A and B are shown apart, each in its own frame.
Chain A
Amino acid sequence: MNDGVPDDVKNEIFAALRFGDGEVERKGGREWPLSGDEYRRYGRQLIMPEVGLAGQMKLKNASVLIVGVGGLGCPAAAYLAGAGVGTIGLVDADDVEVSNLHRQILHGTAKVGMSKVESAVLYINGLNDEVQCIPHHERIFPENALGIISQYDVVLDCTDTPASRYLISDSCVLLRKPLVSASALRTEGQLMVLNNPPRPAGDVHGGPCYRCIFPKPPPAASVVTCGEGGILGPVVGTMGVLQSLEALKVIIATSSEEDTPMELDEIDAQQQQQQQRKKADPPNLLLFSSFSKPMFRSIRLRSRRADCAACSAQASVTVESLNSGSLDYVQFCGVSSPVAALQPSERISVKSFAQLIADSEQEVHFGRPLAAPPVVLDVREKVQFDLCSLKGSINIPYSVISSTDPSATGPSATWVDELRRIPLDQALYIICRLGNDSQLTVKRFRELALDEGGRRRIVDVAGGLKAWRDKVDRDFPEY
C-alpha cells in the first residue's frame, strides 16, 4: 500500500501507538480479527494452544444458554462471560433472596428482591460489555423450551428439579444441542456432558442423553433440595465452574462445518461420523465429593440407549409431543405430596401449643404451676437443633428414630427406654422444621409402642417451627 509515508516511519508510529485503542491498526490498513481491547482482555487464554485465535473466534461467535441462574448458573455465567462467549442467554423466573447469597455469586445484598436474570445481566455487563446478554425472565416449560433453546448453540442445565432436567435434555436432543448438565447437594456434585456429539435421534454415534443415563425419574419423595439438605457454596460453585469449562471445550472443539448443525445432513455422513468419533470424549460422569479422598472420580458411562424415549430410533419424545403439551414432565417425575399421616386428635396447632406452654409457666397460688411443662421432642437433625430450639425441648433426630427397627427383639434403643420412663399422664409433643417428620414420628412412636397402648398421648405440633415462627414468635430464627 502506498500512502506516501515511508515504511520505517510508519512502523515507528505503530510501535509508539501499540498500546492505544484498536482503531489505530485499522487506520493503518490492517484488519485484525479481534479489537485491540479483545487482544488485551483475552491475551492470557489466547496464548494457550487449547484456545488460540481460532478458539477465541469460536467463543466470540458462540451462544450459550444457561437455564437457572442459581448456585451453578452464576459461576458458569461469570466464566463464560469472562472468556468472551459472544452471546449468553439466561433463564430464571425467580427473584434474588438473601439465602441465595452464600453461593450465587452474581447476586449481592443490594440485589435482594431483583429478578435473578436482571441481576445476572448487570453483573455480566459490568464484567465484559463485549458479551450480549439475553434475559429470559421465565421458568422453562414444555411450551417455551424449544423456542428458547433453539436460539443457542450449547445449553447448560443449572436447574434444580428432575422435571426440568428431563425437559431440557429432551429439547436438546430434538434441537441437536450439546448439553452440559450439573447438579450439587450438601458436599457433593455431579457433572455430565450429554448429547455430545449432538447427532439426530437414532444415530448411535451421538452422545447419550439424560434419559439414557436415568430412564426413570427417582421417586419424588427421594429428591432432596438444597433448601432441605443444605449446600456448601464452593461445592456448587465448583460444579458451575466446571460446567463453564466443559462448555468452552465443546465450543472450541466444534469444527467449522458443525457451526451450522442443521446442514450436517448435507455433508458426507461417513466423513462426519469419523471426525466426530475421533473428537468427542467417551461419555463420562464426573463425581465430586468434597469431603472424600480423592475428591474427584470419573465414571465411564454407557452410550446411547437403544430404546431411549428421547434419542433412539424409537423415540416417543418428538417436537409435536412436546409442543402439544402431551408430555407432562411434572407428572412424569411425580409430586411429593405433603405428609398427612395423622388424625386431627393427634395434632395440635402452634397457637394452642403456645397456650399450653404459657399455662405451665404461669404461677398460681403457693408457687405451684397450673400445669406441668409439656414434654417437647424436637426431631430435627442435631445440627439444626443446635442452631435454635424451643426452651426445654429434647432432641431426638428423625434419622435416629427412623433407623430404629420396631420389630427388633432384645434390648431397645436407649432413647426409647428413656421416653418410657416419662410418666404416662405426660403427653409427648413432637415438633420438627416444617411439620412432616413430626407426623412420621408420631406414627413411628406408636409402632414402637411408646403410646403404651393408648395410655400416653403423642401429639404432632402441626406446621412445625415454621408455623411457630409465623404465628407465635416472630423472633424465632428462620434458616
Chain B
Amino acid sequence: MSDTGTIPIRLSFGGGLEAYFSNKRTQTVQVPSKDESGAPSNAAFLIRYLHENIMQYHGEAKNNPFVTPEGDVRPGILVLIGDPDEIDGELADWELEGEGAYVLKPNTLVSFISSLHGG
C-alpha cells in the first residue's frame, strides 16, 4: 500500500447516529491510510476524519451528536471494533482493542452505537 493510499473501513451506526451519516446503518468508506503526521491511521484519526468529512451536521459544536467540542466521542456512544484478523469477527468494545490507538486495517469494522434510554 502506498503512502498516499486509502484503506476501506466498514462502518455501522446505531441508536440514531445513522441520521447524521446519510441515514445508512452500514457503509464502507475509503479512509487515508496515514494520518496528518504520516503515522498509520488509527481509530482516533478515523473519528476525526468521519466528523470532518462524512458526517452531516451543521449545528453548534456543543450540541454535536457525535463528538464533543474537544474532539472526543460524545458520552453515551459506544465505539465497537471488529478486527478483520480475529477469526470470529466479533465486535468488541474499543476499550478492549486499545481505544483511539487501535491501528486501522483494511476492512476493519467500526461501529458507533448511541445508548438508548427508552423503556
Interface residues of A (CB under 8 A from B): 68, 70-73, 157-162, 165, 182-186, 188-190, 213-219, 221-226, 229, 231, 236, 285, 287, 289, 292, 297-302, 399, 402-407
Given contact pairs A68-B119, A185-B116, a sample of 16 additional A-B residue pairs in the complex whose CB atoms are under 8 Å apart: A160-B117, A183-B115, A188-B14, A216-B75, A216-B76, A219-B75, A226-B119, A292-B25, A298-B90, A298-B91, A299-B92, A301-B93, A302-B95, A402-B59, A404-B58, A406-B58
A236 lies within 8 A of B118 (CB): yes
B31 at the interface (CB under 8 A from A): no
- Residues of A with C-beta under 8 A to B95: 302
- Residues of B with C-beta under 8 A to A301: 92-93
B27 at the interface (CB under 8 A from A): no
Partner of A218, one of B19, B59, B74: B74
In chain A, what residue has the closest Cβ to B94? A302
Interface residues of B (CB under 8 A from A): 14-16, 19-20, 25-26, 56-59, 63, 65, 74-78, 80, 90-93, 95-96, 113-119
- In the complex, what distance in Å separates the CA atom of A441 from the CA atom of B103? 41
User: Ordered nearest first, which 6 A-B pairs have the shortest CB separation?
Assistant: A218-B76, A216-B75, A300-B92, A160-B119, A183-B116, A226-B118
B93 lies within 8 A of A299 (CB): yes
- Residues of B with C-beta under 8 A to A182: 119
Known A188-B15, A399-B19, A403-B57: A299·B75 in contact at CB below 8 Å:
no
Partner of A185, one of B15, B76, B77: B15
B75 lies within 8 A of A185 (CB): no
Partner of A213, one of B78, B90, B114: B78
- In the complex, what distance in Å separates the CA atom of A216 from the CA atom of B74? 9
B25 lies within 8 A of A289 (CB): yes
- In the complex, what distance in Å separates the CA atom of A185 from the CA atom of B16? 9
- In the complex, what distance in Å separates the CA atom of A296 from the CA atom of B55? 25
- Residue of A185, A189, A299, A399 ringed by the most chain B CB atoms within 10 A: A299
- Residues of B with C-beta under 8 A to A162: 76, 117
A289 lies within 8 A of B14 (CB): yes
A186 lies within 8 A of B16 (CB): yes
A225 lies within 8 A of B117 (CB): yes
- Residues of B with C-beta under 8 A to A165: 117
CB distance from B9 to the nearest CB of A (A): 18
Partner of B91, one of A184, A297, A404: A297
CB distance from A334 to the nearest CB of B (A): 11
What are 18 A-B contacts defined by CB distance under 8 Å? A71-B118, A71-B119, A160-B118, A161-B117, A184-B119, A214-B76, A218-B76, A222-B114, A226-B118, A226-B119, A231-B118, A236-B119, A287-B113, A292-B26, A299-B113, A301-B92, A399-B19, A407-B58
CB distance from B108 to the nearest CB of A (A): 15
In chain B, what residue has the closest Cβ to A162? B117
- Residue of B19, B25, B57 ringed by the most chain A CB atoms within 10 A: B25
- Residues of A with C-beta under 8 A to B58: 402-407
B118 lies within 8 A of A218 (CB): no
CB distance from B52 to the nearest CB of A (A): 13
B75 lies within 8 A of A224 (CB): no
- Residues of A with C-beta under 8 A to B116: 183-185, 188-190
- Residues of B with C-beta under 8 A to A236: 118-119
CB distance from A315 to the nearest CB of B (A): 19
- In the complex, what distance in Å separates the CA atom of A436 from the CA atom of B48? 30
- In the complex, what distance in Å separates the CA atom of A405 from the CA atom of B93? 33
In chain B, what residue has the closest Cβ to A69? B119
Known A300-B91, A406-B58: A229·B119 in contact at CB below 8 Å:
no
- Residues of B with C-beta under 8 A to A217: 75-76
- In the complex, what distance in Å separates the CA atom of A218 from the CA atom of B56? 20
A229 lies within 8 A of B92 (CB): no
In chain B, what residue has the closest Cβ to A222? B65
In chain B, what residue has the closest Cβ to A289? B14
- In the complex, what distance in Å separates the CA atom of A71 from the CA atom of B20? 27
